[in-house]
Amino acid sequence: MLQIGDVLVSLDVVEREFVCNLSACRGACCIEGDAGAPITEEEHALLKTLLPEVWDDLTPAAREVIRAQGVAYVDEEGDLVTSIVNGKDCVFTCYGEDGMCMCAIEKAFREGRISFYKPLSCHLYPVRISRYPSFTAVNYHRWKICKAAEVLGRKEVVKVYRFLREPLIRCFGQEWYDELDGAAEAYLQQKERGEL
């Protein structure tokens, strides 16, 4: 565990390698799992206002779910998450011509139609953030659908925290990230020298 301020970063985030391999997974994280993506109350409000911008990209089934229950719900663990279709697909999933899953929010952002990229938890995946009264935990969440990303990460030698530089800065700020980067480098060098 590395501690940066009041944030505890699991060593998996520093030691393991990861680079999303979309040609292998085809964006499966948008449509697998048994709950939607965790979002904050602020993101919930924002997603409601952005809905008209992405509506035409959503599937008919997703529109039905949104009409019936809205863009989010509280899951079994008490977390606010995006609504899902058929118990697994995020309602904001849309499909490219090649059948690849895409996030309709991210697509609208990339096309310059909105200024919100996508929920932070999606941007941060495969890292999950847990907030407690006295500290915040950053953990690497391993999921079999991302197997090809671990293989590609090892090939390109990209650690999880480096792959997630942009969302980690979005979450904790540049100064925090720079501190993590330095601490991670020092840790990895010590480990390589057999000092740990």
In the complex, least distance from residue 20 CB atom to ligand SF4, rounded to whole angstroms: 3
In the complex, least distance from residue 122 CB atom to ligand SF4, rounded to whole angstroms: 9
What are all long-range contacts of 185-188, with beta carbons under 8 Å and residues at least 24 apart? 187/2, 187/11, 187/14, 188/14, 188/15, 188/159
In the complex, least distance from residue 143 CB atom to ligand SF4, rounded to whole angstroms: 7
CB 92 within 8 A of CB 101: no
The site for ligand SF4 (CB under 6 A) is made up of 20-22, 25, 27-29, 125-126, 145-146, 149
Nearest to ligand SF4 of 18, 177 (CB atom): 18
Greatest alpha-carbon pair distance for the chain in Å reads: 58
Nearest to ligand SF4 of 26, 63 (CB atom): 26
In the complex, least distance from residue 181 CB atom to ligand SF4, rounded to whole angstroms: 22
CA distance 168 to 126: 12
Nearest to ligand SF4 of 31, 183 (CB atom): 31
Q: Which residues pair with 20 in a beta bridge?
A: none
